Amino acid sequence: MNNKQIINKRTGLQNNSLHKMLQHVADTMVEYGLSMNHVFVDLTPDKDTLKTAFRDIARRKYGVTSTADLTTTQIDGVFKDFAVAISNETGEPVNWPNSIDHAEEAGFISNKNGI
C-alpha cells in the first residue's frame, strides 16, 4: 500500500462515528415510521440496495443478519417475501435462477435445452 492510500484512508474514529451516526439515523427513522423512500426518493435500485432489502427481510423474519447464515428453508422464505414485495410494486414476477440459468450465463451450455 502506498502513502497516498494510507493518507486518504478514513480513521478508525471516523469509521466508528459513521456507523454510530447511521445507527442513530436508522433508529430515528424507525421511530418516526419512515422508510428509505420517504427520505431518499430517488434511491436507485442496484444489487447492493436490493441485497440490503433482502438482508432486512431475513433479519426481521429470522433474526439473521447475514445472508450467508440463512438455512436453505430460510432463504426460500426470505425470497418469497422479497419477490412478493417487488412483484406487488412492478407487476412483474421475480424468479429464482436455476442451475441451468447459471450454467448458460457462465457459458457452460449454449441453451436451456442442453449442452
pLDDT digits (tens, 9 = 90+) for 11-62: 778 777 777 877 877 888 888 888 877 777 777 788 888 898 899 999 999 9
Q: Output the CA angle 99-63-94, nearest 5 degrees.
A: 35
Sequence ranges of the domains in the chain: 1-41, 44-115
Name the DSSP letter for residue 112. T
CA distance linking residue 12 with residue 83, whole number of Å:
38
What percent of the chain stands above pLDDT 90? 26
Q: Is 115 exposed, middle or buried (0-12, 13-18, 19+ CB in 10 A)?
A: exposed
The model's pTM is 0.63
Name the DSSP letter for residue 36. H
